[in-house]
Amino acid sequence: MQGMDYVYAVWQEKSFSAAARKLFVSQPALSASVRKVEKELGLPIFDRSTSPLQLTDAGRAYIDAAERIFHIKKDLKSYCDDLAGLESGTLQLGGTNFFASCFLPPMIEAFSQRHPHIALSVIESDSADLFNKLMTEELDIIVDSGIYDEALYETIPFYQDHILLSVPAALPINEKFAAYRMTRQDILMGRHLEARMPAVPLSAFAETDFLILGKGNDMYRRSKKLFQHNGFTPCVRLYLNQLMTAYHMARQGLGATFLTDTLVRLSAPNEALVYYKLDDEEAQRQIFLAVKRKGYRTKAMQGFVKSSLALYRSED
């Protein structure tokens, strides 16, 4: 099976040198192993005249067969782990930087207390890559929000957070909205969830510089919708990759941004930002666990979902 693993790594990396680094083997040894597989197959697997490497017709058939074999091996291993009664096995988890930082730690702790012998691993990436890894079974469960293909993935909602307009406290525009303005302490007390707390008109901040998360992020899509619903195109000072980065940039006074009440509650006490409630469906987002719709659900996966739901329902 080593030859198959080597071929698959070359295909994933689209490069012999990159695959060799990933596998911690020398490039000559890797090349020799791949040539041996090609000799046994009787046809080349890779078109070496292209950059990056491309698969030949035989190569595509080989990779398809390899993936089926890998899935069979994974399912067999999972089944045997289940026979051991959650006393052994692995669980691969994924999330964006924000979800992996804010939600996975308590979930992992709750699960590990019940099942200490399950080996856990975590991958942080963007949503598109996480869902792709879920489909190829490189991941078992991811934490995410936003849009997904219902035909391919099943989601289990467990938490709802709320998006707030977050504005540097020093900006003069805040003086106009004293009745709408909230501090971090107000968010901790849940004032933004009270019906009597008024929502700020976002259009009033049309001349304010904004810090926005980039394309591919659920917050980018939501921000775009919020601006559209309020009839203006924002002046974007910076596009950023992470919600926590937007928080720190806003704290430095570089512009307004959209933050979640979860992040605000977990952040260190400060008076550099003020917060405003938004009256828009895009300001409410459901956080969920996602799994591949078709595929074997291990007891470890089922146990992780069960303990996570119990954890957050106990906090309601």
Instruction: Please count the CA atoms within 13 angstroms of the CA of 98 that sit on its side-chain side.
Output: 25
List pLDDT tens digits, range 253-299: 999 999 999 999 998 888 999 999 999 999 999 999 999 998 778 88
Fold that domain 2-79 belongs to in CATH: Arc Repressor Mutant, subunit A (1.10.10)
pLDDT tier at 128, thresholds 50, 70, 90: confident
State which of 126-135, 211-220, 244-253, 291-300 shows the largest mean pLDDT: 244-253
CATH of domain 85-154+287-313: 3.40.190.10
The three-class DSSP label of residue 141 is: strand
The mean pLDDT value for 226-230 works out to 97
What residue spans define the domains of the chain? 2-79, 85-154+287-313, 159-285
Q: What is the largest CA-CA distance in the chain?
A: 76
The mean pLDDT value for 36-52 works out to 89
The mean pLDDT value for 34-53 works out to 89
pLDDT tier at 88, thresholds 50, 70, 90: low
Which of 132, 158, 164 lies closest to 143 in space, CA to CA? 158
Sequence-distant (≥ 6) Cβ neighbours of residue 140 within 8 angstroms: 91, 92, 93, 134, 291, 298, 300, 301
CATH of domain 159-285: 3.40.190.10
The mean pLDDT value for 21-35 works out to 89
Q: What is the mean pLDDT of the chain?
A: 91
Domains 2-79 and 159-285 share a fold: no
Q: State residue 87's pLDDT score.
A: 60
**DSSP-assigned beta bridge partners for residue 239:** 212
Instruction: Please count the CA atoms within 13 angstroms of the CA of 186 that sit on its side-chain side.
Output: 17
Q: State residue 45's pLDDT score.
A: 93
Q: State residue 84's pLDDT score.
A: 62
Q: State residue 126's pLDDT score.
A: 86
pTM over 0.75: no
The mean pLDDT value for 33-55 works out to 89
Q: State residue 154's pLDDT score.
A: 95
